[in-house]
Amino acid sequence: MRDQAEALRLKMLRAQGGLARSIAVVSGKGGVGKSNFSTNFAYALQNCGKKVIIVDMDIGMGNIHILLGASPAYSLKDYVSGQKTLQEVITMDTEGLAFISGGSGLDSVLDWSEEMFNRLLEAFGQLQQEYDFILFDMGAGATQSSIDLIIAVDEVIVISTTEPTSITDAYSMMKFIYLKDPEKRFHLVSNRVAKQEEGLEAARRLQFAMTKFLNKETTILGFLPEDPAVHTSVVAQKPFLLYYPDAPVSRKMKTIATAFAGITRELETSREQSFLGRLKSLFSRGRG
Ligand SMILES: Nc1ncnc2c1ncn2[C@@H]1O[C@H](COP(=O)(O)OP(=O)(O)OP(=O)(O)O)[C@@H](O)[C@H]1O
Ligand SMILES: [Mg+2]
């Protein structure tokens, strides 16, 4: 009965075109720029008139709030553990960007129980109605809960640098996700690029490997240059897009976001294919 009501509700929302695009920002190797990408990409999407929320999935080691210069009182953990409501853990930074902090200080990495996942599920249901984009900034490496989430989202943005180690790790990560969900949409971004040709070459190599070995298409969103504005902005705890709007990295980010916002998501045909539907089937499958 509950399922039927849910199905109907989702159907209505989809008919109105009302559900958010859910996107996980991932990498193979850590430290390649996911969190900086997520925060600035979110601003750039917001500048395109979109309503965006970032969820920091780097539980216990989150740094989105640091990059935004905010001190949230609560984190995602307080919500999933049932201590706070969803509204209480959503923070607005000074520029009006909504985010949910992952919490910091290594306050115990979550051991997700079924109840926690159910709360997470509930939260995403609500967020999907309120926002155009839900961006999940993933931590480095793959934990079971992060993999579950990555599998549930509609789209994945894969960040890599131009170093061969970063490229091969990015490929391994994509292959892993692809084998669990062949329908996933992959978007590639090369970061810290010294020369334009190098950035394109790195993304093309990844794209080529995906086509050749997995017969899977991916889109190249573009590349972001190595730019000292990133470091200065991190130190100032301000997104580079706002702090240095005309820096090369900011200009490129705007181009990437504009292109991304323009991609229309094909409406999926069944609720099983929806983000919530997929989350549900994941969690009902042998959890607890
Ligand atoms: N385009 C760039 N130009 C210069 N420096 C950059 C660029 N992108 C990222 N960096 C630097 O790389 C470092 C790591 O960035 P970030 O924290 O965003 O990576 P991450 O992938 O989120 O790391 P983790 O895997 O630990 O979560 C930061 O110190 C940042 O200043
Ligand atoms: Mg990070």
Rounded to the nearest 10 degrees, the angle between the axes of helix 248-262 and helix 228-236 is 90
Q: What is the pLDDT of residues 52-79, one digit of tens each?
A: 999 999 888 889 999 999 999 999 989 9
- Lookup: tokens for 8: 């109907």
The torsion angles phi and psi of 68, rounded to 5 degrees, stand at: -90, -5
> If you take atom 26 of ligand 1, which residue's CA is the nearest one?
31
Residue with the larger pLDDT of the pair 90 and 1: 90
Residue of 32, 36, 223 to test ligand 1 pocket, by largest number of atoms within 8 Å of CB: 36
- Would the CB of 66 count as within 6 Å of ligand 1? no
Is the model's pLDDT at 4 over the cut of 60? no
- How many whole angstroms from 34 Cα to the centroid of ligand 1? 7
Is the model's pLDDT at 262 over the cut of 90? no
> How many Å from the N-terminal Cα to the C-terminal Cα in the chain?
23
DSSP string of the chain?
Answer: -HHHHHHHHHHHHHHTT-PPEEEEEE-SSSSSSHHHHHHHHHHHHHHTT--EEEEE-STTS--HHHHTT---S--HHHHHTTSS-HHHHEEE-TTS-EEE----S--------HHHHHHHHHHHHHHHHH-SEEEEEPPSS--HHHHHHHHHSSEEEEEE-SSHHHHHHHHHHHHHHHHH-TT-EEEEEEEEESSHHHHHHHHHHHHHHHHHHH----EEEEEEE--HHHHHHHHHTS-HHHHSTTSHHHHHHHHHHHHHHHPPPPPPSSGGGSHHHHHHHHHHSS--
Measured from the CA of 226, which atom of ligand 1 is nearest?
Answer: 3
At 114 the pLDDT is 78
Residue of 27, 29, 35 to test ligand 1 pocket, by largest number of atoms within 8 Å of CB: 35
At 226 the pLDDT is 98
At 79 the pLDDT is 93
At 274 the pLDDT is 65
Please state, as a whole number, how many other Cβ atoms lie within 10 Å of the Cβ of residue 235: 8
Query: Is the Cα dihedral 125, 127, 131, 133 positive or negative?
Result: negative
pTM to 2 decimal places: 0.88
Is the model's pLDDT at 29 over the cut of 70? yes
Mean confidence (pLDDT) of the chain: 86
- Lookup: tokens for 158: 């894969």
- Would the CB of 61 count as within 6 Å of ligand 1? no
Measured from the CA of 249, which atom of ligand 1 is nearest?
Answer: 1
- Tell me, which fold does domain 2-287 have in CATH? Rossmann fold (3.40.50)
- Lookup: tokens for 276: 């919530």
Residue with the larger pLDDT of the pair 143 and 98: 98
